[in-house]
Amino acid sequence: MKHVDDASALPVTWWKSSASASQSDCVECGIVDEATVAVRDSKRPHGPALLLDRTALRAFTSAVALGDGRIGGLD
């Protein structure tokens, strides 16, 4: 898994779920290229971002949806 230290430096358009409009515990995603998606904490736009390939992103979102604390496929 890769990361960048300043997510705001990435040339992406960030978005978050419409279900998180009034909550402060959100993540935002941005498409970096065909194979890579960036994920950052919405409260820290200049903080770090994870760079995930599509397979790792699917594993991450599936584990979160299931409430699984062991995020598989990301180590």
Q: Is 64 left (phi over 0), alpha (psi -120 to 50) or beta?
A: alpha
| pLDDT tens, residue by residue, 14-38 | 998 766 666 666 889 999 999 999 9
DSSP state of 32: -
pTM above threshold 0.85:
no
- Residue 72 banded pLDDT, cuts 50, 70, 90: low
Check if the beta carbon of residue 74 is closer than 8 Å to that of residue 1: yes
Q: How far apart are alpha carbons 50 and 44 in whole angstroms?
A: 13
